[in-house]
Amino acid sequence: MSEVLVRVENIVKNYISGTETLHILKGVSLNIFRGQAVAVTGQSGSGKSTLLNILGGLDRTDSGSVTVGDTEITGLSESALSAYRSRRVGFIFQFHYLLKDFTALENVMLPGYIGGMKKKDALEKARALLSDVRLDDRIQHFPSQLSGGERQRVAVARSMVNDPDMILADEPTGNLDPDNSAMVAELLYAEAEKWGKTLIVVTHDENVAGRAKIRYNLESGVLV
Ligand SMILES: Nc1ncnc2c1ncn2[C@@H]1O[C@H](COP(=O)(O)OP(=O)(O)O)[C@@H](O)[C@H]1O
Ligand SMILES: [Mg+2]
């Protein structure tokens, strides 16, 4: 547990809105160790998604650096950043973004297959992951045939298929009732632990944040 996987140094992010400059991140620094589970809470609009999107290579900083392993992602070209996203990061969002014309099994195997796994291996991994999230009897279902909680469990399985370094989850239980939230939270942490994944979860659900060993709150543009 002593290897620093993610090194965030003094990142600043502003948005221009009309004539106004919104100072969202005002110098955020943190280190995340490989295999750690970290929760970031904070009020709506505090910049949680902005921070997570920067870590995942979906958004860029105005200054400061993010280094993952030995790659400084803040210096990467668009194509290198795209490769970083697909190989090293697993994303889970508030909305599941499952492909509606594909089964649960296909939705989970596809990122692996597209990422270069053999079809047979991707299918095998997808079956194992769906079994972990207790959906063995739902693998041939389409997203429309699944409940909200089941869809998020598919999204949890999908985030792992590519064997990423870290899982980034943005309000993964934001659309769920308390029972389903608790189940998704439990499975998310259990999966990350089982596969040795670093987990960074942004949430205002205490059920989700409470399970993390390390917690931060984003307040006035800095982490406390
Ligand atoms: N692309 C954008 N352009 C302008 N303002 C933005 C943009 N994205 C986010 N913001 C603003 O930045 C602030 C932080 O947003 P966000 O990171 O989504 O917060 P959180 O996830 O904590 O609710 C909000 O005030 C939001 O309106
Ligand atoms: Mg958000």
Strand-pair partners of 222: 219
What was the pLDDT predicted at 106? 98
Kind and range of the H or E run holding 144: none
Cβ atoms of 12 and 27 within 8 Å: the answer is yes
Residues of the chain with pLDDT under 70: 1
What was the pLDDT predicted at 208? 95
Write down the mean pLDDT value for the chain: 96
Pick the closest to residue 202 from 190, 191, 212, 192 (CA basis): 212
Residue from 11, 50, 171 whose mutation best tests the ligand 1 pocket (most atoms within 8 A of CB):
50
Ligand nearest to the CA of 93: 2
Cβ atoms of 39 and 209 within 8 Å: the answer is yes
Pick the closest to residue 159 from 66, 83, 89 (CA basis): 89
Residues framing ligand 1 (Cβ under 6 A): 15, 17, 22, 24, 42, 44-50
What was the pLDDT predicted at 2? 73
* Cα–Cα dist 205/46, whole Å: 15
What was the pLDDT predicted at 204? 87
pTM score, whole prediction:
0.96
Residues 6+ away with beta carbon under 8 Å from 150: 104, 135, 138, 141
What was the pLDDT predicted at 207? 87
Separation of 202 CA from ligand 1 center, angstroms? 14
